[in-house]
Chain A
């Protein structure tokens, strides 16, 4: 944004970077929830504590029954304790899950909201460089991974830690020998489990890549069906698909080799643990050094520790993935608009700015390629400028500059004599009604779309705007008139209807500056004439820039410029240009011939 030669701006630039980084630490999203994190810890302590205590009660009962020291009231008392503690444990076991998971969804919400809010502040240049699909992935799966690693990380992380510490203490205090046995069993088990999981992840990735290869192949086959049929390639294509399909089975089976081993492996290992405890503990029971109750207690611990310990390796990889996703999210949050922000939208607006537009020696280059060169224009308030020229000559870019969709590389654009970089974006764009050639409409009601740029639009305004753009008759044919939904779930508009809706949307703002970028290319000549008739008075009241390929439209302009290869090659009124040899008069001849052909038909 700043050249490195200027010392001061460079410093401010650096400072801004550091601030941005602090703003985008994940802790920012966690600190507001510190109470919930603390509560999770408390739940874990209670639930783990009880679960380690219950086997002790079991031991008392078994040993009591064995030694015949237990009478019925004592047994019932122990059972009642067991029951009560069990209920408490179940309750806390629920909160131990509910609190961190709920928290993770709150963070997810806040994060997604922040990222989206930030995205609305980024300019066209950013969106040119990013694919929508990629942004969508970040907004969904990356944020989901971050959420999971927070939720599961808290839940599993705290629990595993608590189980490890407290179970070691309790077991060591009860019987150090058996404690060693249990731990020496779990150590290799967690290790092997970790290895299998890692292998599975790799195979999963491999499989996923192959799956997308298969789906690309299908996509390509269906999209290129004309070519396939035209060259009678179906059989060859089928054979190729068969091969891909076989590989899919192979890759799937490779994954199954690891995946199917998980459960039998764990079950076997547990059996092994069971028999080792029974065997070593059993010998000591026979020699009278150990009671059956203590043995049972250890079997219960073996059982209880299984999941938290296995979750360890899973949680680790979850956190790892969360970190990667967080970096991808941070990239969005730390990105800044390339439009220089001199006046923010919050600052008081420049009082009244009139609608004269000037281009002063404007050059525009995008990624090193020059698109506009030496553009000089002076459009007085209330006049109309027509712009024409071949496809790709830079007409759309020229009008985009007025609305600051990008800034010129050199020179400046002035509105009301003020460089538009010295106006806030909100004020500048608030003055403009913009209609594009391929307009984007939103899947909402027609009314919403027309009143898109107006705060609380009333029905009269919507009706007026629709009428000017010759949309009223179409609307009356729609099932719910102005309340008709557009898009997939509603009415699909024709190209011409879309363009006319976009014109309505632009004029509904009653803007000082009206920009129409080839907005009548998809309507027929009769409708075009009708629209131009109604648009005329509206255009007269404001400064209008319109791009068009049609002489019949262009002739309404006070001045017309022809742009070829980014430069203005001709300028003047319709009557002047028609007499000059050049693009404009060629266009005129061609369209007269076309008219004749149409008239005959």
Chain B
């Protein structure tokens, strides 16, 4: 109920349109269902009333025909409009919700993304929302429309002939029950089909991926047998569906035939008894009503059971919207024109998961314009340091400050807009090369981005692309080598002209020597005259640093210049020698 209320809140902005749609539903139901009444009149007053002269009857027939077709044209026309209006309202509600969900996801903190599979998020913004859309347009509004249609028909039927109506209505609960039952069975069968299809697909996916393994171990026959088992399982679910589906339409047909039979029987017997309450016109009109009667009845019986499925989706969507945002903006964010660039860590403790300390009591500072290199073995907590400055995560103890101001006092967007990150896995957006460099930041024009690309040695290969800077790339940047992607991402960072720079510098085995030289050169230019922290894996970047932090198991074990650290003859020296022999250098 609470969910329904929240969903209802989304429809409030469109209450005028909703009210109009409702009025149109009632109006068209009254108009369209009036048509058989006209048929009754035509039959009784024109065709059957032999007492009146033929000419007069033909005139009346013509008049009623024109009235009939006018009402039909207007009624169905308005109904079309109402259908569009309803669809539009549904679309608008879903538009708002989809936007809310997307914005909510982008606001979530990094740790949320660490824990949530992208597939799950995708399900929320795609299939859950789609199911909701179906629920709003077909479900809620559709039910109202069906209900009024049914009420309209029943009202007119009683108006024309209470006796015949009662005979037909008596069969209604029975028919509705059958249809509801068949629909429920159909839904079950469909759920089974979906389940079994996805289990078959899971197996198929695995077998196709592991086909080489299957062949190496001579498992082809056994694999086919397993596959056939699930395949047969799916087939039996389909057989079940066919069983119920093949009952559905015959049930409707049977219901219609039964109603016709009732009209003929009750009406026929009454007429034979000499009753004047029922005329042949009543007969014809009722035959027309019965045709329209079963469509809303069938769809109502279907919807009655399908609400549950939609509710599950609604719940998942609202749960996502209610998830707490952990890294929030301060009430009054600090903002300064230009950051001088002193970064300081003051007794910082940090854990991704509680008490599992990744950084233990770290203190250091970087002066404006300096390059600080962080070295250490994998898992020593190096990259965590730069994640904390941009508030991808918030620390548990201690303080991280920029120019003496705690990073938590800046607005996130403002803070991150001043920082530049070069991550180890270059992320390319779908779009042109130019857009990937400028990120469509206002104030970066074509010549700026070309200059940036030239500085980081990316200009040459970009020019060589089919349409140069206007070449459109897909998400994975297909067609570019890893090294080229890294250069492109550096051009992007340089173009944004960040005040503070953070680099995750990972020497990559698959980059050829020539490109490797270009990357090292580009890195040096990026860091020139800029406060930078670089997580260093390359000797060249270490040599460029003014100062070096040595990390080990989350602790800061040593710091100083390269020469000082070498003189200490400790952990740093061993690390350095290892790098010296690494084949990647």
Q: A106-B235, A283-B58 are in contact. Are A79 and B242 (CB under 8 A)?
A: no
Q: How far is the CA of A89 from the CA of B430 in the complex (A)?
A: 59
- A392-B99 in contact (CB<8A): no
**Set B57, B247, B264: member contacting A94, Cβ < 8 A:** B247
- A278-B110 in contact (CB<8A): no
- A601-B552 in contact (CB<8A): yes
Q: A222-B105, A230-B419 are in contact. Are A127 and B208 (CB under 8 A)?
A: yes
Number of interface residues of B (CB under 8 A): 132
- B83-A260 in contact (CB<8A): yes
Is A249 positioned at the interface, with any CB of B under 8 Å from its CB? Answer: yes
Is A19 positioned at the interface, with any CB of B under 8 Å from its CB? Answer: no
- A256-B268 in contact (CB<8A): no
Q: A286-B58, A593-B577, A593-B581 are in contact. Are A275 and B253 (CB under 8 A)?
A: no
Q: Which residues of A contact B65 (CB under 8 A)?
A: 275, 278-279
Q: What's the least CB distance linking A196 to chain B, in Å?
A: 12
Q: What's the least CB distance linking A506 to chain B, in Å?
A: 9
Is B364 positioned at the interface, with any CB of A under 8 Å from its CB? Answer: no
**Stretch in B6-14, B19-27, B215-223, B350-358 with 4+ CB within 8 Å of A:** B215-223
Q: How far is the CA of A135 from the CA of B99 in the complex (A)?
A: 34
Q: How far is the CA of A260 from the CA of B142 in the complex (A)?
A: 12
Number of interface residues of A (CB under 8 A): 134
Q: Who on chain A is nearest to B571 by CB?
A: A600
Q: A113-B227, A218-B122, A286-B58 are in contact. Are A440 and B106 (CB under 8 A)?
A: no
- B121-A597 in contact (CB<8A): no
Q: Which residues of A contact B553 (CB under 8 A)?
A: 601
- B72-A272 in contact (CB<8A): yes
Q: What's the least CB distance linking A462 to chain B, in Å?
A: 15
- B95-A89 in contact (CB<8A): no
Per-position 1/0 for B523-543, Cβ under 8 A of A: 000000000000000000000
Q: Who on chain B is nearest to A454 by CB?
A: B217
Q: How far is the CA of A229 from the CA of B214 in the complex (A)?
A: 43
Q: A86-B257, A292-B47, A453-B219 are in contact. Are A268 and B231 (CB under 8 A)?
A: no
Q: How far is the CA of A279 from the CA of B125 in the complex (A)?
A: 54
- A229-B202 in contact (CB<8A): no
Is B412 positioned at the interface, with any CB of A under 8 Å from its CB? Answer: yes
Interface of A: prevailing SS: helix
Q: Which residues of B contact A289 (CB under 8 A)?
A: none
**Set A140, A246, A601: member contacting B201, Cβ < 8 A:** A140
Q: How far is the CA of A65 from the CA of B266 in the complex (A)?
A: 13
- A232-B272 in contact (CB<8A): no
Q: A220-B475, A252-B91 are in contact. Are A229 and B581 (CB under 8 A)?
A: no
- B103-A238 in contact (CB<8A): yes
Is A33 positioned at the interface, with any CB of B under 8 Å from its CB? Answer: no
Q: A82-B264, A218-B125, A264-B83 are in contact. Are A275 and B69 (CB under 8 A)?
A: yes
Q: What's the least CB distance linking A430 to chain B, in Å?
A: 6
Q: Considering the complex, which residues of chain B in the window 71-104 have a beta carbon less than 8 Å from any beta carbon of chain A?
A: 72-73, 76-77, 79-80, 83-84, 87-88, 91-92, 95, 98-99, 102-103
Q: Who on chain A is nearest to B88 by CB?
A: A253
Is B140 positioned at the interface, with any CB of A under 8 Å from its CB? Answer: no
Q: Which residues of B contact A316 (CB under 8 A)?
A: none
Is A112 positioned at the interface, with any CB of B under 8 Å from its CB? Answer: yes
- A241-B260 in contact (CB<8A): no
Is B176 positioned at the interface, with any CB of A under 8 Å from its CB? Answer: no
- A136-B227 in contact (CB<8A): no
- B577-A271 in contact (CB<8A): no
Is B479 positioned at the interface, with any CB of A under 8 Å from its CB? Answer: no
Q: Considering the complex, which residues of chain A in the window 261-288 have a beta carbon less than 8 Å from any beta carbon of chain B?
A: 261, 263-265, 267-268, 271-272, 274-275, 278-279, 282-283, 285-287
- A230-B390 in contact (CB<8A): yes
Q: What's the least CB distance linking B378 to chain A, in Å?
A: 11
**Set A106, A246, A442: member contacting B210, Cβ < 8 A:** A442
Q: How far is the CA of A139 from the CA of B439 in the complex (A)?
A: 40
- B245-A89 in contact (CB<8A): no
Q: How far is the CA of A265 from the CA of B571 in the complex (A)?
A: 83
Q: Which residues of A contact B54 (CB under 8 A)?
A: 286-287
Q: Which residues of B contact A230 (CB under 8 A)?
A: 390, 416, 419-421, 423
Q: How far is the CA of A86 from the CA of B62 in the complex (A)?
A: 36
Per-position 1/0 for B236-257, Cβ under 8 A of A: 0011001101110111011001
Is A102 positioned at the interface, with any CB of B under 8 Å from its CB? Answer: yes
Is A142 positioned at the interface, with any CB of B under 8 Å from its CB? Answer: no
Q: How far is the CA of A282 from the CA of B421 in the complex (A)?
A: 84
Q: Which residues of A contact B91 (CB under 8 A)?
A: 249, 252-253
Q: How far is the CA of A223 from the CA of B223 in the complex (A)?
A: 34
Per-position 1/0 for B256-274, Cβ under 8 A of A: 0110110011001101100
Is B113 positioned at the interface, with any CB of A under 8 Å from its CB? Answer: yes
Q: How far is the CA of A242 from the CA of B243 in the complex (A)?
A: 45
- A586-B581 in contact (CB<8A): yes
Per-position 1/0 for A214-239, Cβ under 8 A of B: 01111111111111111111111110
Q: A586-B583, A593-B577, A601-B552 are in contact. Are A453 and B95 (CB under 8 A)?
A: no
Q: How far is the CA of A123 from the CA of B220 in the complex (A)?
A: 12
- B257-A89 in contact (CB<8A): yes
- A271-B68 in contact (CB<8A): yes
Q: How far is the CA of A70 from the CA of B245 in the complex (A)?
A: 40
**Stretch in B284-292, B302-310, B450-458, B464-472 with 4+ CB within 8 Å of A:** B284-292
Q: A72-B272, A429-B215 are in contact. Are A226 and B264 (CB under 8 A)?
A: no
**Stretch in B35-43, B153-161, B334-342, B397-405 with 4+ CB within 8 Å of A:** B35-43
**Set A61, A271, A275, A279: member contacting B264, Cβ < 8 A:** A61
**Set A75, A231, A248, A299: member contacting B496, Cβ < 8 A:** A231
- A136-B204 in contact (CB<8A): yes
Per-position 1/0 for B561-585, Cβ under 8 A of A: 0000000000100110110011100
Q: How far is the CA of A179 from the CA of B127 in the complex (A)?
A: 49
Q: Who on chain A is nearest to B387 by CB?
A: A226
Is A90 positioned at the interface, with any CB of B under 8 Å from its CB? Answer: yes
Q: What's the least CB distance linking A96 to chain B, in Å?
A: 8
Is A478 positioned at the interface, with any CB of B under 8 Å from its CB? Answer: no
Q: How far is the CA of A328 from the CA of B217 in the complex (A)?
A: 29
- B232-A231 in contact (CB<8A): no
Chain A residues with CB under 8 Å of chain B are 54, 58, 61-62, 65-66, 70-72, 75, 79, 82-83, 86-87, 89-91, 93-95, 97-98, 101-102, 105-106, 108-109, 112-113, 116-117, 119-124, 127, 132, 135-136, 139-140, 211, 215-238, 241-242, 245-246, 248-249, 252-253, 256-257, 260-261, 263-265, 267-268, 271-272, 274-275, 278-279, 282-283, 285-287, 292, 295-296, 299-300, 303, 390-392, 403, 405, 425-426, 429-430, 432, 434, 436, 439-440, 442-443, 452-453, 505, 509, 586-587, 589-590, 593-594, 596-597, 600-601
> 20 new A-B pairs (CB below 8 Å) besides A231-B417, A253-B87?
A58-B260, A93-B253, A98-B243, A116-B231, A124-B212, A127-B212, A136-B205, A215-B126, A223-B118, A227-B421, A230-B416, A231-B439, A256-B87, A265-B76, A278-B65, A282-B61, A391-B509, A593-B577, A594-B578, A601-B377
| 29 contacts across the A-B interface (CB closer than 8 A) | A62-B280, A75-B268, A79-B261, A94-B247, A95-B246, A109-B232, A109-B234, A116-B227, A124-B212, A127-B208, A132-B205, A218-B125, A221-B106, A222-B105, A222-B122, A226-B421, A231-B421, A236-B440, A245-B95, A248-B95, A256-B88, A268-B73, A275-B69, A292-B284, A392-B510, A405-B216, A439-B213, A589-B581, A597-B578
Chain B residues with CB under 8 Å of chain A are 32, 35, 39, 42-43, 46-48, 54, 57-58, 61-62, 65, 68-69, 72-73, 76-77, 79-80, 83-84, 87-88, 91-92, 95, 98-99, 102-103, 105-107, 110, 113, 118, 121-122, 125-126, 197, 201-202, 204-220, 223-224, 227-228, 231-232, 234-235, 238-239, 242-243, 245-247, 249-251, 253-254, 257-258, 260-261, 264-265, 268-269, 271-272, 280, 283-284, 287-288, 291, 377, 390, 392, 412-417, 419-421, 423, 427, 429-430, 439-440, 475, 492, 496, 509-510, 552-553, 571, 574-575, 577-578, 581-583
Q: Top 4 closest A-B pairs, CB basis?
A: A453-B217, A260-B83, A440-B210, A271-B72
